[in-house]
């Protein structure tokens, strides 16, 4: 790497980091190929993303396997997400520009402040909701913080704080505290508004750090990779990770099934029936060679799962369906439902077909459409509410965004009265709840548990709690 950088002075920093990522992903990028790629980028530039991608592909990827690795590395590296709290209908243009397109910025303005467009402070950028400049400044701060050196998921908070400090968060926090100290309604309102924007910024920075962790830690051991995948947000995973994730899901499900099935078999034996044991062993002078146990039927928990399979949470729903598919040993009488604009039962599909085919069939039947929670809950009440009783745990997976349709909280209220509990798993960060078309805070009062769930580890924790409570 150092040889080709020294030989080609015009090689840009984003391109150098991309080579680092490509090597970690398994691509063999020689020094000669690096020089050729740098010269080609000098000619085509970063402005046309498609042209850049095709140009680098001709130089770096020769075999079909290399082309697939290159495709995934390029898409994940040259990607800029919109900031948290984005609502439907907002401009997506910011997502089309790669990291290499960040314009050069002037010196930082004022101490801890940041030198955004026109020397604007972080507070000014957050108030104006200038997401393009915020994304650019976040990438600049990440370079200054040495984010490419991240290797372990335990470093995420450290690097996130470093990036926020370089963006000027400390100065903004002091300004917000000064606003609160004045006590005027205008300043209090402004401080409260900025608090919400800062929380959204934190979520975006954490997401950015996590994606870079996935990018730059590819060369680590398999065990580390598994821990990374379990802790990574599912929407940040690459296609090449999906097969490995399916293996992890099956392993995790079998582990839980074996653990709780043993507990249940042990408890099924019940308590020792002393009277019947003595009677059975009269022929041996009452010595209890044969024991008799009081049999007590322990019912497995009844679970009904309602999965939002609309476009925004389709990946998460697929993993939950896969997880439940493998948990049949531990959970009996599972009934699974999928919904977007309407709701259907998918239990039979999951029971009769291989898991990958089953999930694909479900998604093709009802997935990827616009969500309508109110209509879907009404469908559930009309068709299946009669099967819900005080032993039923209802799990809802979804972001609670019904595209401003009637949320039908009355149905959730009646479902709450009939069921043992309602658990809502939301793949969105909590800072996005209640924004735009989110009805999450309308549903929350009727649920026993509402929690963020967008990683495999969080999903395992929730399912474990359900099994422990039911054992």
pLDDT at 82: 47
Confidence of residue 318 (pLDDT cuts 50, 70, 90): confident
Is residue 388 within 8 Å of 358, Cβ to Cβ?
no
Q: Which residues contact 376 (CB under 8 A, 6 or more apart)?
A: 306, 339, 340, 341, 342, 343
Output Rg (C-alpha) for the chain, integer angstroms. 27
Mean pLDDT, the chain, rounded, equals 77
Residue 459 pLDDT greater than 50, yes or no? yes
Ranked by mean pLDDT, the top range of 99-113, 303-317, 435-449 is: 435-449
Residue 328 pLDDT greater than 70, yes or no? no
In tens, the pLDDT along 346-402 reads: 888 887 887 778 888 888 888 888 899 999 999 999 999 999 999 898 989 889 999
Average pLDDT over residues 335-353: 88
Confidence of residue 273 (pLDDT cuts 50, 70, 90): confident
Ranked by mean pLDDT, the top range of 242-256, 262-276, 409-423 is: 409-423
In tens, the pLDDT along 191-236 reads: 999 999 999 999 999 988 988 887 776 655 455 667 777 777 776 7
pLDDT at 343: 94
Residue 164 pLDDT greater than 70, yes or no? yes
Q: How far does Cα 149 stand from its chain's mean position? A: 23
Higher-confidence residue of 274 and 235: namely: 274
CA angle 115/154/255 to nearest 5° reads 140
Higher-confidence residue of 150 and 117: namely: 150
Query: How large a percentage of the chain has pLDDT more than 70?
Result: 74
CATH no. for 241-470: 3.40.50.410
Average pLDDT over residues 8-34: 73
> Which of the residue ranges 262-266, 350-354, 358-362, 448-452 would you say has the lowest mean pLDDT?
262-266
Is residue 455 within 8 Å of 228, Cβ to Cβ?
no
In tens, the pLDDT along 57-85 reads: 888 888 887 888 888 888 877 765 445 44
């Amino acid at each position: 790497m150092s040889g080709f950088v020294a030989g080609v002075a015009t090689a840009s920093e984003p391109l150098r980091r991309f080579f680092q990522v490509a090597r970690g992903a398994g691509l063999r990028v020689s020094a000669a190929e690096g020089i050729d790629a740098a010269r080609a980028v000098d000619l085509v530039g970063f402005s046309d993303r498609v042209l850049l991608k095709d140009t680098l592909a001709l130089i770096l990827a020769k075999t079909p396997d290399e082309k697939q690795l290159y495709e995934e590395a390029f898409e994940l590296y040259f990607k800029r997400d919109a900031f948290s709290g984005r609502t439907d209908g907002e401009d997506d243009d910011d997502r089309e520009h790669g990291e290499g397109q960040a314009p050069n910025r002037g010196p930082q303005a004022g101490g801890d402040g940041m030198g955004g467009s026109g020397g604007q402070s972080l507070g000014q950028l957050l108030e104006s909701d200038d997401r393009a400049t915020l994304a650019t400044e976040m990438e600049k701060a990440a370079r200054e913080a040495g984010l490419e050196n991240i290797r372990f998921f335990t470093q995420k908070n450290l690097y996130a704080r470093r990036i926020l400090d370089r963006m000027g968060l400390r100065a903004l926090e002091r300004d917000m505290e000064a606003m609160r100290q004045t006590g005027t309604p205008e300043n209090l309102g402004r401080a409260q508004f900025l608090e919400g924007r800062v929380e959204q910024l934190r979520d975006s920075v954490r997401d950015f750090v996590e994606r870079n962790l996935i990018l730059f830690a590819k060369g680590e051991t398999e065990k580390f990779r598994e821990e990374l995948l379990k802790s990574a947000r599912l929407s940040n995973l690459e296609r090449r990770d999906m097969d490995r994730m399916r293996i992890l899901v099956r392993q995790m499900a079998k582990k839980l099934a074996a653990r709780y099935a043993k507990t249940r078999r042990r408890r099924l034996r019940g308590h020792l029936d002393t009277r019947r044991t003595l009677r059975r062993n009269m022929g041996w002078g009452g010595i209890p060679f044969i024991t008799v146990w009081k049999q007590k039927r322990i019912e497995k928990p009844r679970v009904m799962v309602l999965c939002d399979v609309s476009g925004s949470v389709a990946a998460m729903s697929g993993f939950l369906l896969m997880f439940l598919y493998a948990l049949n040993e531990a959970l009996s009488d599972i009934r699974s439902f999928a919904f977007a604009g309407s709701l259907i039962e998918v239990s039979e599909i999951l029971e009769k077909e291989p898991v990958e085919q089953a999930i694909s069939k479900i998604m093709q039947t009802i997935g990827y459409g616009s969500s309508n929670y109110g209509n879907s809950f009404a469908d559930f009440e009309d068709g299946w509410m009669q099967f819900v009783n005080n032993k039923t745990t209802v799990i809802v997976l979804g972001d609670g965004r019904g595209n401003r349709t009637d949320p039908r909280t009355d149905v959730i209220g009646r479902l709450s009265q009939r069921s043992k509990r309602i658990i809502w798993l939301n793949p969105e960060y909590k800072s996005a709840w209640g924004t735009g078309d989110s009805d999450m805070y309308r549903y929350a009062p009727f649920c026993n548990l509402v929690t963020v769930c967008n990683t495999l580890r969080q999903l395992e924790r929730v399912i474990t709690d359900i099994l422990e409570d039911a054992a």
